[in-house]
Chain A
Amino acid sequence: MAVDLFNPTPEHAQLREMVRRFAETEVEPQALEHDRSETFNLPLFRKLGELGVLGVTCGEEYGGAGLDAVAACIVHEELSAVDPGFTLAYLAHSMLFVNNVYQNANDEQRRRFLPGACEGTKVCGMCMSEPDAGTDVLGLRTTARRDGDFYVLDGAKMWITNGAISKDELGDAFLVYARMEGAPRSELTSFLVEKGTPGFSLGQKIEDKLGMRASPTAELVFEGCRVPVANRIGEEGTAMLHMMRNLEIERVTLAAMSLGIARRSVEVMNDYARERKSFGEPLNRFGQIQRHIAESYAEYMAGRAYTYQVAGQMDLAKPGQRLDTDGVKLFCATMGKNVADRAIQVLGGYGYTGEYRVERLWRDAKLLEIGGGTVEAHQKNMTRDLARLTKLR
């Protein structure tokens, strides 16, 4: 039988079905409300733990499901089709923290941090960006200095998803990238920092985001923050590799989120154009509307094929797919935004209001051109990688 790129095994198909049903029955009904109130739905997040998807790529011995990048894409695509904001919180937890710790930390650290994160009793995230360092991530200025059995961290992290779970409450645990005092630019060191660690505090919960409002975003502050040596991941100066490994799955799953947005937008415009009449005819009889629908569908499927093809080739333990993991995000982020935009256009005034959902999807879609690497960053990385090639296979 022909291989189904999107559901390569029956288990993938069942996972998709399970998450889709959960999304439709439990996630959809709360999406608009949490977008409007700009709040994180913690009880719903914990249900993802019961479904076993918080540790989708984490080994079974630590409470995960031990599945591959395709499975991770499936969960992100399906959740994002109803609530991209909530999905971003899922991504920060499951990909940026759980997968990262599973791939890069030692056994003792995994045993300490992963079971709670996979169950959903803990809400976690990853701290890379800073107020003055985003695309130029190696320009980060958070420092670490050894002091006996501790490291002392100083600095601030910005835009941290799950950094706060409410206005004044920190998330539970974070993987934090820093640089040893005096170390060269390319040598980073990463640490596991928990809520309650002396010197670790919530700077502010960031309000008034355009989209992704159901995912909490925060600035986090480290002031003489004392982290036990046992919480250092790997050796000093080796975290660049951890970062690269994890950025690839981050980008592919962010692309999968754009796919969810695009699919839903196509469904909405397709349904509406069939029912709504103008000049006595359904909208989908008009050429300009046909172009919106048909091109959106084709672009969605192109992005989908590219993303699942790349995900199917990924080895989560090794970096080495930068060109295409950047490529899928570059293509899908803008594709998702454009498709959501066309959906609003097809719906006219109705599309411009919350009830038809595409207004929210459009706002959420924009973030995917910025977070996890801006489109410009992908263009830069990809062109650098392509410059080394003469023939493509």
Chain B
Amino acid sequence: MKVLVPIKRVADPANANKVKVAGSEVSHDGLEWVMNPFDEWSLEAALRLTEDASAKTRTGEIVVVSIGPKAAVDTLREAMGKGAERGVLVDGEDTALDSNVVAQILAKVVEKEQPDLVLMGKQSADGDSNIAGTKLAELLGWPVINYASHIETSDDGKTLTIKRELDVGVQTLKVQGPAVITCSDRILKPGTIKNGVTPADFEYPDLGDLNSRLSNLKNIMAARKKPLDELGLGDLGVEPVRVDEYVGFELPAGRSGQAQFLESVDELVQKLQSEAKVL
């Protein structure tokens, strides 16, 4: 199975207070970059789909693709250090992109790479738009399944059984690949992915607070030598059409930092009515 995993580097959410805004732009100066955590979930899912976890061997292929500046290569190498086979960097500055452009570019990469699946983050931790996956599926004419919590396949991704956890219950879908799938964090639990190769009784370790598996030093070093293509928009024949215009950015208002501890639920309900006036 060949899976395409789009990956964005985002400013480290742990140091969000370093972000500075100026009019219609967010300043990138002095930020630390990390892999978008939502993309990490999809990468982990893709790794589980394309390996024999018990024999510790790779059985399929993962191509990770990022649209960004040259420095985004580090993020791709990180993903390759976790197991992805190849990387593609498409040259693009954040300020020139919106979800539409991203979907346009990814559609061209999909055309070129012909994957069985695109597994991507449901959103990015910086823009929080939650659009690119659906848009990409539309451009490709592929089915899209958002917030997958379980993925099962026994014929290398040709047919997939996918579960989504919704407020009203668990929905189970059967879909004919190729397809675009975005994941929820439930996908990181043990037992959520079955690929017909890893023995059914294999138990993945609980990842705890991690968003994807840890690499190991050998794989980090091996990732240096894995193939990485760098492409421009011209190479892909994309003429980007932006539909969003960034008008302005503002930092959120600071929080008061005040908290009250109440004795009982009754008291809480009463205060929500009389003081906060939200009930």
Q: Which residues of A contact B (CB under 8 A)?
A: 10-11, 13-15, 17-18, 21-22, 24-26, 50-53, 56, 60, 65-67
A53 — which chain B residues lie within 8 A by C-beta?
217
Does A25 lie within 8 Å of B210, measured CB to CB? yes
B165 at the interface (CB under 8 A from A): no
User: What residue of chain B has the Cβ atom nearest to residue A12's Cβ?
Assistant: B220
Judging by beta carbons under 8 Å apart, are A14 and B77 in contact? yes
Contact in complex: B210, A21 (CB < 8 Å): yes
- Assuming A11-B224, A13-B74, is B208 touching A18 (CB within 8 A)? no
Pair A14/B220 contact, Cβ less than 8 Å: yes
| Selected A-B contacts with CB under 8 Å, 9 pairs | A10-B77, A11-B220, A14-B77, A14-B81, A14-B220, A18-B81, A24-B209, A50-B216, A51-B214
Partner of A65, one of B77, B78, B214, B218: B218
A14: chain B residues within 8 A (beta carbon): 74, 77-78, 81, 215, 220
Contact A18 B214 (CB under 8 A): yes
Q: Say whether B221 faces chain A, with CB atoms less than 8 Å apart.
A: yes
How far is the CB of B91 from the nearest CB of chain A, in Å?
17
Residue of A nearest to B257 (CB): A275
Q: A1 to chain B: closest CB distance in Å?
A: 9
Residues 205-246 (chain B) with a chain A CB within 8 angstroms:
208-210, 214-221, 224
Cross-interface CB contact of A22 among B73, B74, B214, B221, cutoff 8 Å: B214
User: Nearest chain A CB to B156's CB is how many angstroms away?
Assistant: 28
Q: How many of chain B's residues touch chain A, expressed as a range?
A: 10 to 19
Distance between A315 CB and nearest chain B CB, rounded to angstroms = 20
What residue of chain B has the Cβ atom nearest to residue A25's Cβ? B208
Name 15 extra pairs, CB < 8 A, besides A10-B73, A14-B78, A52-B216.
A10-B74, A11-B220, A14-B77, A15-B220, A17-B78, A18-B217, A21-B210, A21-B214, A24-B209, A26-B208, A51-B217, A52-B218, A53-B217, A60-B218, A67-B221
A62 to chain B, nearest CB (A): 13
With a cutoff of 8 Å between Cβ atoms, the chain A residues found around residue B220 in the complex are 11, 14-15, 18
Q: Which residue of A lies closest to B219 (CB)?
A: A52
Q: How far is the CA of A160 from the CA of B193 in the complex (A)?
A: 46
Tell me which residues across on chain A come within 8 A of B218, comparing CB atoms: 52, 60, 65
Closest to B78 in A: A14
Whole-angstrom CA separation of A15 from B219 in the bound complex: 10
Whole-angstrom distance between the Cβ of A69 and the nearest chain B Cβ: 15
CB nearest neighbor in A for B211:
A21
* Chain B, Cβ-Cβ closest to A22: B214
Residues in B whose Cβ lies below 8 Å from that of A56: 217
- What are the residues of chain B within 8 A of A60 when measuring CB–CB? 218, 221
Minimum CB–CB distance for B68 against chain A, Å: 15
A-B complex: 10 closest residue pairs judged by Cβ atoms: A52-B217, A52-B216, A65-B217, A52-B218, A10-B74, A51-B216, A25-B208, A14-B220, A18-B215, A18-B214
Interface residue ranges of B95-112 to A (CB < 8 Å): none
